[in-house]
Chain A
Amino acid sequence: MDMLTAEKLTAQDYRSDLKPVWCPGCGDYAVIAAIAKALAELQLPREDVAFVSGIGCSSRIPAYSAVYGFHGVHGRALPIATGLKMARPDMTVLVAGGDGDGFSIGGNHFMHACRRNADLTYIVMDNSVYGMTKGQASPTTEPDWEGSKLTPDGTHITPFQPLEIALSAGASFISRAFSGKPAELTRQICEGVNHKGFSLIHVLSPCVTFRPEQRAYKDKVHEEWRPTADRTEAFQKLMADDGFATGILYQGTKPPFRPEMGVPATIAEIEAQFAV
């Protein structure tokens, strides 16, 4: 009865009382704070919001919020969220996870979620490392990173480009933010939730434990992008991207995916097709 009490919900009202498992200094603290702030700005009733995630450090995030949540299995946050949104179009559905969860084991779902363009807001906390399993290379890791025992000489694999893939596959809202600049991140989350269609919010969120050099992100990021509905322009910006440009890259007008409604019929009318 949040709305009836007429009390304005604060960011704190969207937070649970659980203490995150994250390391001190993790970028994800700022992300949950920004999400709570955005939800408070939007004043969405808590019971009408669901937060879905997969597995990984950042995927712990739903339990730290005070909305409905689903902490699923590794890589499958987007299918769970898609199913929920199709079955319950009245719910506001947020999805969160990391770069391993979303772009490696869940890579196929990511591509197809962009294609489907269901009205979901997908927040990826990208730190270019598997943190929960103690520091392996992820799809966005630089090919020459030698910090992992699993690939001590580096991966020598071209890093995954989430924004290029999203734009190619048909996502209708694409942005990038930095966890160290929470105001911009909060604004993007509000815009993403308000956008009707699939919103990808790519958040550079440093892992201070396994990638301490990412502390330097704060000096590298530069707010640069302004939304365009022109895909050619968006692609050109991506071709010039150093990986640290922030802002809303693209916002298109493709209507969100919604299943068709049918002409109502009773079960007896449906069964009649089998009568001899």
Chain B
Amino acid sequence: MAISSVSIALTGSGGAGVMTAGQVLLDAAAKAGLYGLMAKSLGPQIRGGESAALLRISNEPVQSSDDTYDLLMAVDWGNIERFAAELPLSKDSVIICDPAQGPVPELMLTANPRVVNVPLKELAASLEGGRVNMVGLGLIAELIGLPESSIVDILAAALKKKGPEALEASKAGLRAGQKAAQSITGIVKLSPPGPSTTERWSINGNEATGLGALKGGVRFVAAYPITPATEILEWLAPQLPKVGGCLIQAEDELASINQIIGGSFGGVPALTATSGPGLALMSEALGLAVASETPLLVCNVMRGGPSTGIPTKSEQVDLNIALYGMHGDAPHIVTAPNSISDCVFTAQWSVYLAEAMQAPVILLSDQAMGQSKAIIDKPADLGFIGERLAAEANVENYQRYAVTASGISPMAVPGTPGGMYTADGLEHSPRGTPSTQASHHQEQLDKRLRKLTDFDYGDHWGDIEGDSETAIITWGSITDPTREAIDRLADEGVSVKLISIRLLAPALPDKFSAALKGVKRAMVVEQNHSRQFHTYLRGVYDLPADTITYHRPGPVAIRPSEIVEAVKAWNKGA
């Protein structure tokens, strides 16, 4: 069943407080027992740029952003041309804006939405310490039917340090907004919350990724800041010392990746987080981690590329570099969470995989998931904890890179008596001695591949939902709008199977064939310009002869209706 929800866009120049208002609105919805999602659209400026808080609130779990916004409140129209495409409206949408900010720009009126003028700034100015964002917040809350008490609770907690005057000023702003809302009719209201049975969390994808890694056992992190991955590192920084770990800031990505190789060599599960350009810098050292069989996790939060690209916007563009970015034959693991909630699981599982197979894992998240905050049910903990096969002390003729049936060799953690060996990026004999011998190269290549392909990944390879001759194959954050599109198609009697692949590499043809059982045709959905996912699938798997793609680049989010329309056009034979 498609869900009933209210979608709200709050826009304004930096400093207008729309992000704060959006955050309060989301937290208040959570307080009132509702679910929600808040994506952020940010300009490149550090201060004073355009920004938009993009919310969707519902009494059911929210998977994806909706197609259009029911309400758009513009505190001002600064730089609107830069991100108007990210604010789709319909004829049923309502724009609330301040006439003092000038006429509504033409490009916001193409869908013919209703425009309601409210003198937001004037109302705020008439109050002692009044702020425009609080007036807007009161107005929106009243229009959609969010109880005032939940907003006041959130504000009281947020403004605790600023004293009672600050709270009173904010409350006055809210009330002015509520009053202004009285004259506006015909706005879609929230459905009341259902009974809350599970603990709810308010968390963004980057925090969820950091938490999953911590739960998986990561205790050492080396960090170099990069948008939009930095929040993973900033979240982990104060948490690690609480569990006996630490984070250090590196001088660059070449250092951060090598530092975690060093920490992991020391026996401590280790992580760094980055985005495309940083991942490119880390490529050489990732090859070293493969050759030296050093487990580690790189959380790569994708943004528009190539080069500096569009750092604040989302795109699934680092699949190619994650899969193929290394020199030599370098088998490694690539994973991708497919929702904010799944960031916890996939990061935790990725630590487990890295440690179990003594190999680097690249986890691909993206800006849309990483920097969006959601109200979710507390994710289940499947208990994956990273643990590596350790060598015992004083093993006679210990061989670090012993050729074993599983391909996994016991690893002596420094400090283990009698286990002294030299880890090496040079090809080596089982003992670790540098070697150019053909037989050594062959057996070490075989072992490093075998340990990944023979591993038991359980049911976590991908999420397979529904049963149909028609399937959508997708990955990462695009899974959310795809799920919603499939729900909507089901309401219309069109059944589509979902295959969302969580383990992108190594390729596991048996798993893929099993997922495709009964499927006669497939649509590959992804957000990039060059069909990176489709090209990869074609290379490693047998796809149905009738396979098409729906793909386009960012920065505009892929909405459920696009996928619905693509499936319908396909069904019509268009």
Residues of chain A at the chain B interface (Cβ within 8 Å): 1-2, 18, 45-48, 50-52, 60, 62-63, 66-73, 75-76, 78-88, 90-91, 108-109, 111-112, 259-265, 267, 269-271, 274-276
User: What residues of B have a CB within 8 angstroms of the CB of A261 in the complex?
Assistant: 241, 244
Cα distance, A191 to B214, chains bound together (Å): 38
Question: Which B residue's beta carbon lies closest to that of A62?
Answer: B422
Cα distance, A5 to B284, chains bound together (Å): 42
Cα distance, A109 to B555, chains bound together (Å): 35
Could you tell me if A47 and B419 are in contact, using CB atoms closer than 8 angstroms?
Answer: yes
Question: Which B residue's beta carbon lies closest to that of A111?
Answer: B251
User: What residues of B have a CB within 8 angstroms of the CB of A88 in the complex?
Assistant: 263, 266-268, 414-415
- Band of interface residues on B: 35 or more
List the 8 shortest-distance A-B pairs measured between CB atoms, nearest first. Answer: A262-B241, A83-B262, A69-B422, A83-B259, A87-B263, A259-B246, A79-B258, A88-B266
Could you tell me if B203 and A274 are in contact, using CB atoms closer than 8 angstroms?
Answer: yes
Asked if A79 meets B30 with Cβ closer than 8 Å, knowing A73-B284, A73-B425, the reply is: no
Cα distance, A275 to B262, chains bound together (Å): 35
Q: Which of B150-168 contact A (CB under 8 A)?
A: none
Could you tell me if B266 and A84 are in contact, using CB atoms closer than 8 angstroms?
Answer: yes
Q: How would residues 426 to 455 of chain B score, 1 for a CB under 8 Å from any chain A CB and 0 otherwise?
A: 100000111000000000000000000000
Cα distance, A18 to B248, chains bound together (Å): 35
A-B contact pairs, 11 of them (CB 8 A): A63-B424, A69-B420, A69-B422, A70-B292, A79-B255, A83-B220, A83-B260, A262-B241, A264-B244, A270-B211, A274-B201
Could you tell me if A50 and B414 are in contact, using CB atoms closer than 8 angstroms?
Answer: yes
Could you tell me if A69 and B423 are in contact, using CB atoms closer than 8 angstroms?
Answer: yes
Asked if A72 meets B220 with Cβ closer than 8 Å, knowing A88-B267, A262-B242, the reply is: no
Could you tell me if A47 and B418 are in contact, using CB atoms closer than 8 angstroms?
Answer: yes
Beyond the given A70-B261, A259-B246, could you list 4 further A-B residue pairs with CB under 8 A, ordered by the A residue number? A82-B255, A86-B259, A108-B252, A276-B27
Could you tell me if A108 and B414 are in contact, using CB atoms closer than 8 angstroms?
Answer: no
Instruction: State whether the Cβ of B125 lies closer than 8 Å to any Cβ in chain A.
Output: no
Asked if A109 meets B267 with Cβ closer than 8 Å, knowing A47-B417, A71-B426, the reply is: no
Which of B254, B416, B425 is close to A71, meaning CB atoms less than 8 Å apart?
Answer: B425
Cα distance, A28 to B257, chains bound together (Å): 29
Which of B201, B207, B241, B394 is close to A1, meaning CB atoms less than 8 Å apart?
Answer: B394
Q: Which of B254-302 contact A (CB under 8 A)?
A: 254-268, 270, 284-285, 287-288, 292
User: What residues of B have a CB within 8 angstroms of the CB of A51 in the complex?
Assistant: 422
Asked if A83 meets B270 with Cβ closer than 8 Å, knowing A90-B415, A275-B200, A276-B30, the reply is: yes
Taking the nearest CB of chain B, how far is it from the CB of A102, in angstroms? 14
Taking the nearest CB of chain A, how far is it from the CB of B381, in angstroms? 9
Question: Which B residue's beta carbon lies closest to that of A3?
Answer: B417
Question: Which A residue's beta carbon lies closest to that of B257?
Answer: A79
User: What residues of B have a CB within 8 angstroms of the CB of A86 in the complex?
Assistant: 220, 246, 248, 259, 263
Question: Which A residue's beta carbon lies closest to that of B202?
Answer: A276
Instruction: State whether the Cβ of B502 lies closer than 8 Å to any Cβ in chain A.
Output: no
User: What residues of A have a CB within 8 angstroms of the CB of B260 in the complex?
Assistant: 83
Q: How would residues 212 to 234 of chain B score, 1 for a CB under 8 Å from any chain A CB and 0 otherwise?
A: 00110001101000000000000
Question: Which A residue's beta carbon lies closest to that of B394?
Answer: A1
Cα distance, A268 to B420, chains bound together (Å): 37
Could you tell me if A274 and B202 are in contact, using CB atoms closer than 8 angstroms?
Answer: yes
Q: Which of B386-422 contact A (CB under 8 A)?
A: 393-394, 412, 414-422
Taking the nearest CB of chain A, how far is it from the CB of B476, in angstroms? 22
Asked if A267 meets B215 with Cβ closer than 8 Å, knowing A81-B262, A275-B201, the reply is: yes
Question: Which A residue's beta carbon lies closest to that of B269?
Answer: A87
Cα distance, A52 to B415, chains bound together (Å): 15
User: What residues of B have a CB within 8 angstroms of the CB of A63 in the complex?
Assistant: 422, 424, 432-434
Instruction: State whether the Cβ of B31 lies closer than 8 Å to any Cβ in chain A.
Output: yes
Instruction: State whether the Cβ of B250 lies closer than 8 Å to any Cβ in chain A.
Output: yes
Cα distance, A84 to B259, chains bound together (Å): 7
Instruction: State whether the Cβ of B239 lies closer than 8 Å to any Cβ in chain A.
Output: yes
Instruction: State whether the Cβ of B456 lies closer than 8 Å to any Cβ in chain A.
Output: no
Could you tell me if B424 and A71 are in contact, using CB atoms closer than 8 angstroms?
Answer: yes
Residue among A66, A73, A75, A79 with max Cβ neighbours from chain B (10 Å) = A79
Asked if A276 meets B201 with Cβ closer than 8 Å, knowing A45-B417, A69-B422, the reply is: yes
Taking the nearest CB of chain A, how far is it from the CB of B332, in angstroms? 16
Question: Which B residue's beta carbon lies closest to that of A91?
Answer: B414
User: What residues of A have a CB within 8 angstroms of the CB of B256 in the complex?
Assistant: 79
Could you tell me if B267 and A72 are in contact, using CB atoms closer than 8 angstroms?
Answer: no
Asked if A87 meets B270 with Cβ closer than 8 Å, knowing A73-B288, A262-B241, A264-B244, the reply is: yes
User: What residues of A have a CB within 8 angstroms of the CB of B378 in the complex?
Assistant: 274-275
Cα distance, A260 to B220, chains bound together (Å): 13
